[in-house]
Structure 1
Amino acid sequence: MSESSESPSSRAPSHGNEREDKRSFWQRIAEFIHHGPESKGDLIEVLAGAEEKQVINAESRVMLEGVLRMADLTATDVMVAAPRMDMLDIDSPYEDILNLVIETAHSRFPVYEDRRDNIIGILLAKDLLKLQRAPELNLRALLRPVMFVPESKGLNDMLREFRSHHNHQAIVIDEFGRVAGLMTIEDVLEEIVGEIEDEFDIEEDHGDIFGLADSTYRVSGDTPIERLNEAFDVALPEEDFDTVGGFIAHEMGHVPRRGEVYETAGLRFVVLHTKGGAVKWFKVSPLEAVTQAG
């Protein structure tokens, strides 16, 4: 029989498959869980099963699980604690403010007056350009309103408020009305999609210590001290500190800022990038190599 004389019944399965493929994502999920999970844990297990049966892919499952788990989280679970917040003093000289903005590379800053608990507004880094063109402007005139939220605020509600108020940042307040921390819309979204990487982030399987083209090394701030000691054959103390970032912050007496340098145990640490008040990346060079290069 020729191809043109193929019977309609022989082609039916392919049409059926086309119709099957046209089912929406949620239709496929509904069909898969038609018996109905009885708890959130059951639903997460169902999603894992859906991935195994290729009803959804791995990325979809991770995001759906993130949405489910986010319902149990509050502002305090994702905020940057108050002592680690990068803030601006309204009375600081313009040059000091500009230097801090450049060093931290944030796009928004809480601004306080007299004391850190007295936050009077939010400054967008881009608004500082207006002062360069019009020095007669007062910094207060550039401040945006502050969004205050309680520690108990659920992340689901936070996401709605961020969207409805067109805000990207909120100050978290404890039960006594004191500043407990800061959170951003990025912090909420990362609970769903995972960490939103920037130009300093690398994939986990690339390692926490890796060589650069100039014979120096990039070292993650959360690298265990034991691993650093093994990699560079040094003997930083392992008893009191778990990570390189924690040890160096303690030794410097403050949260390191981008560009700061600290030397110890024959190594030079240059802060490459900070996030949330902690060092994400150091550039590390053996002091011998630094001396020879000089």
Structure 2
Amino acid sequence: MSDERPSSRNPGKKTFLERLGDAFTGEPKDREDLLAIIQEAHQNKILDDDSLRIIHGAMNVSDLHVRDIMIPRSQMACLEHDESVKQWATKVVESGHSRFPVLGESPDEVVGVLLAKDMLALTLKHDFNEEAMQRHVKEIIRNVTFVPESKRVNVLLRDFRMNRNHMAIVVDEYRGISGLVTIEDVLEEIVGEIEDEHDDETITNISSTGNGSYVVQALTPIDDFNDHFATDFSDEEFDTIGGIVMHHFGRVPKRDDTIQIGALEVRVTTADNRRVRSFEVRFVS
């Protein structure tokens, strides 16, 4: 009697991994060769569109730095250490985020991170007694992690996993606050945009910086942009202002690349090697 177990699957049908392995019969010599093999596997229906996008995203992550994917400082939702718990709760509810930098005496001093779930636990523990909660609020502020703008995203992801951390404050070469980055920002570079039930409510496509300029999300509809800035960009060829800006650049611009379009000066604030996320826009005389 044979000791071999009968196969539970169709012997004539290859698994996904076996079919993928067949695509790599020729060993790739470099990254370009590997990408060509992956593209051929996609064309041969071995990889579907989603799988192809994820593989490309995973490979591109090693080329990115934190500055390419971070949330700019002007868009950070922060709490201040001298605010009341009630003020914190209001900001938490309005933003819909789960983690918040807590600022100290100055905007460049981040003293910790508050998790919304910790504040909820504190509220329940003290039966919504604000005076009691205020006495114990420092106990729930967690330590903050700082990372430089130049840190590679793949290294950041490894650190997030090892330290079981989900958010870090990004600092520039002078230790000033540049923005923040979350593990979701990293994962979105691999799998694409991850939207939750709060995204449509909390994202402001156009927000003032307070110094005469505005932060504009690349996905802002052209009609909304025209209404806000009294411009007359056409929406026949592009649906979003990001398409208009990239058309004028003639390429995918990098962070801090600047261009003048009519009476507007547009500076890229957030971008990676595949797309632009946001711009700083101001009128020039």
TM range, smaller chain: 0.5 to 0.7
- Runs (4 or more) in structure 1 with deviation over 4 Å come to 226-229
Instruction: Measure how far apart 1:97 and its partner are.
Output: 1.3
Question: Helix, strand or coil: the match of 2:138?
Answer: helix
SS state of the match for residue 138, structure 1?
Answer: helix
Counterpart of 1:189? 187
Equivalences for 1:264-275 in 2 at 5 Å? none
Aligned residue number for residue 237 of structure 1: 230
Identity across the alignment (%)? 35
Q: Does 1:44 align with 2:42?
A: no
Matched, 1:97 2:95: no
Distance 1:89 1:32 in 2: 55
Structure 1 residue 37, shift from structure 2 partner: 3.1
Q: Using the TM superposition, give the Cα deviation of residue 160 of structure 1 relative to its aligned residue in structure 2, in angstroms.
A: 1.0
Distance 1:156 1:20 in 2: 39
- Equivalent residue for 1:198? 196
Task: Supply the distance in 2 between the matched residues of 1:60 and 1:20 (Cα, whole angstroms).
Answer: 24
CA pair 197-179 structure 1, distance change in 2 beyond 3 A: same
Deviations 1:98-152 (A, max 9, x none): 1111111100000011112110110011222234232254221111111111111
Q: Name the counterpart of 1:155.
A: 153
The within-5 A match list for 1:8-19 is 18-19=10-11
1:138 corresponds to 2:136: yes
- State how far apart, in whole Å, the 2-side matches of 1:56 and 1:237 are: 46
* Preserved CA contact (<8 Å) 2:226 2:232: no
Structure 1 residue 156: deviation in Å? 1.1
Q: CA deviation at 1:158?
A: 1.1
CA distance in 2, matches of 1:34, 1:174: 45
Distance change in 2, residues 1:53/1:196 (3 Å) = same
Asked if the contact 2:171/2:179 (under 8 Å) is kept, the reply is yes
Distance 1:184 1:201 in 2: 15
CA distance in 2, matches of 1:226, 1:114: 37
Give the match for residue 281 of structure 2. none
Q: Specify the code of the residue in structure 1 equivalent to 2:190.
A: I
Q: 1:8 matched to which residue of 2?
A: none
Distance 1:23 1:239, change over 3 A: closer
Q: Which residue of 1 aligns with 2:114?
A: 123
Q: Could you list the runs of 5+ residues in structure 2 that have no partner in the other structure?
A: 1-6, 127-131, 201-217, 234-239, 242-277, 279-285
Compute the displacement of 1:239 (Å): 6.2
Structure 2 equivalent of residue 56 of structure 1: 47
1:109 lines up with 2:107 in the alignment = no
Q: Aligned to 1:46, what secondary structure does the other structure show? A: helix
Residue aligned with 1:115, SS? coil
Could you tell me which residue of structure 1 aligns to residue 26 of structure 2? 35
Residue 249 of structure 1: aligned partner: none
1:244-263 correspondence runs (5 A): none
Partner of 2:65: 74
User: Does the 8 Å contact 1:226/1:238 carry over to 2?
Assistant: no
> Structure 2: how far apart are the matches of 1:150 and 1:228?
36
Q: Summarize the Cα distance change of 1:193–1:159 in structure 2 as closer, same or farther, 3 Å threshold.
A: same
Q: Distance in 2 between matches of 1:39 and 1:30?
A: 17
Distance of aligned partners of 1:200 and 1:20 in 2 relative to their CA distance in 1, 3 Å threshold: farther
Decide which moves more: 29-38 or 87-96.
29-38
CA distance in 2, matches of 1:28, 1:221: 37
SS of aligned partner of 1:122? strand
RMSD: 3.2
User: Which of 1 and 2 has greater Rg?
Assistant: 1
For the residues of structure 2 that align with 1:152 and 1:32, how far apart are their CA atoms? 36
| SS of residue matched to 1:110 | strand
Q: TM-score w.r.t. structure 2 length?
A: 0.64
Task: Give the letter aligned to residue 237 of structure 1.
Answer: A
On the 8 A contact 1:225/1:236 being kept in 2, the answer is no
Checking the alignment, whether the CA contact within 8 Å between 2:146 and 2:168 is kept in structure 1 is: yes
Inter-CA distance 225–118: structure 2 relative to 1 (3 Å threshold): same
Distance change in 2, residues 1:110/1:177 (3 Å): same
**What is the CA distance between 1:80 and its match in structure 2?**
0.5
Count of aligned residue pairs for this structure pair: 208
